[in-house]
Structure 1
Amino acid sequence: MTWNIYLSGEIHSDWREQIMAGATEAGLPASFSAPVTHHEASDDVGVAILGEEPDKFWHDHKGAQINAIRTRTLIGKADIVVVRFGEKYKQWNAAFDAGYAAALGKPLIILHQDEHAHALKEVDAAALAVARTPDQVVSILRYVIDDALPGYTDTADPAQ
C-alpha cells in the first residue's frame, strides 16, 4: 500500500521538503500532496480564470473557492493529514484544514513550535499527534507505516 499524505499549512519554510526527504530516505511507501504553495497564484487564481473583481473581498472569495476544490479533494483522499502552523501569520486556512480533516475522521498530525501550544490547544486536541519538528513527523510516519521505532530493539521472545 502507498500511503497518501496531505501536507497542509505554512508555506514560508521548507518543512514539506524535509518531511518528503525523510520519508524517501526511510524508504516509506508514501506519496505526498499539498495545497498550491505559490502564494500569488493561490491568491489570484479566481480572477485569473473567472475574471477581475473590483472588490478585494470577491477577488479573495473566488480564489478561496477554487483552492477549496483542490484542498477538499486531496484531504478527502489522504490517509494521513499533517498540518503545520508556522511562526508568523495567522494561518486560518491551516486551522480550517485541520478541522475539515478531523471532521472527516482523518488521522491528523499537527506541527508547531511550543509558543503556539496555548493558541492551538483545540486544534491539538483533535490531533492524534502533535510534533515540534519535521523529523518527529517522519519518525511518526516510520512507526505508523513500517512499524519502525528509532532506537528500539525488541528482544522479547515471541514464543512467550
Structure 2
Amino acid sequence: MAELEVYLSGEIHTDWRREIEDAVTAAALHIAFTAPVTVHENSDDCGVAILGAEENKFWADHKGAKVNAIRTRTLIERADVVVVRFGDKYKQWNAAFDAGYAAALGKPLIVQHDPSLTHPLKEVDGAALAVAETPAQVAAILRYVMTGEL
C-alpha cells in the first residue's frame, strides 16, 4: 500500500502523537503525520503576529482562529484518515469541530479518549469508524489498515 496521510487532531498536553508515530516507525509503516500547531503561544498569537495587533481580545482570537483554520482545513482535506484525541483535562471544542469537519468530508475518523468520556462524546463517537482508548490501539488500527495484519 502507498503512503497514508494521517491528521492527528486533539489535545496537546500529553505525548500521544509521539506514541503513535513511534509505533508506526517501529512497524516500518509508510505513514505521514500532520497536526495542528501544538505550541499554544504560536497558535494563539499567529493572527496578530502575521496580520497586526488588535486592541480587543475578541478580534485577536478571531484572527488567530481564521489563520489556524487555513492550516487545519487544508490538512484535514488532504488526510486519508483523521484521528481525534480528547483528553480529560480540558474541553477540546476545536477537536470536536475537527471531528465534525472530517465526518462531513467523509474522511475515515478514529476517535481516541478515556472511557469516562464516552457519554459526553457519544455523538462524536457515533460518527467515528473506530473509537480507541489508547494511542497503542490507534497505532494498531493504522497498522491493520496498512498491512491487513493483526
Q: TM-score range by the shorter chain?
A: over 0.9
RMSD: 0.5
1:65-119 deviation per Cα after TM superposition (whole angstroms, max 9, x unaligned): 0000000000000000000001111100000000000000000000000111000
Summarize the alignment of residues 78-117 of structure 1 with structure 2, pairs less than 5 Å apart.
78-117=79-118
**TM-score, with normalisation over the residues of structure 1?**
0.92
Summarize the alignment of residues 53-68 of structure 1 with structure 2, pairs less than 5 Å apart.
53-68=54-69
Separation in structure 1 between the aligned mates of residue 27 and residue 122 of structure 2, nearest angstrom: 31
Separation in structure 2 between the aligned mates of residue 54 and residue 89 of structure 1, nearest angstrom: 27
Q: Tell me, which stretches of 5 or more residues in structure 1 are unaligned?
A: 150-160
Separation in structure 2 between the aligned mates of residue 50 and residue 139 of structure 1, nearest angstrom: 42
- The code of the aligned residue for 1:80 comes to V
Separation in structure 1 between the aligned mates of residue 23 and residue 113 of structure 2, nearest angstrom: 18
Deviation of 1:137 after TM superposition, in Å, equals: 0.3
Separation in structure 2 between the aligned mates of residue 50 and residue 142 of structure 1, nearest angstrom: 41
Runs of 4+ in 1 over 3 A off after TM superposition: none
Q: Tell me, which stretches of 5 or more residues in structure 2 are unaligned?
A: none
SS of the residue corresponding to residue 118 of structure 1 reads: coil
| 1:158 paired residue number | none
| 2:125 paired residue number | 124
SS of the residue corresponding to residue 119 of structure 1 reads: coil
Separation in structure 2 between the aligned mates of residue 48 and residue 142 of structure 1, nearest angstrom: 39
Separation in structure 2 between the aligned mates of residue 22 and residue 4 of structure 1, nearest angstrom: 15
1:12 aligns with 2:13: yes
Separation in structure 2 between the aligned mates of residue 49 and residue 143 of structure 1, nearest angstrom: 41
Q: Aligned residues, how many? A: 149
| 1:23 paired residue number | 24
| 2:140 paired residue number | 139
Separation in structure 2 between the aligned mates of residue 72 and residue 102 of structure 1, nearest angstrom: 13
- The code of the aligned residue for 2:129 comes to L
Summarize the alignment of residues 35-46 of structure 1 with structure 2, pairs less than 5 Å apart.
35-46=36-47
**TM-score, with normalisation over the residues of structure 2?**
0.98
Q: How high is the sequence identity, in percent, across the aligned residues?
A: 68
Deviation of 1:127 after TM superposition, in Å, equals: 0.1
- The code of the aligned residue for 1:36 comes to V
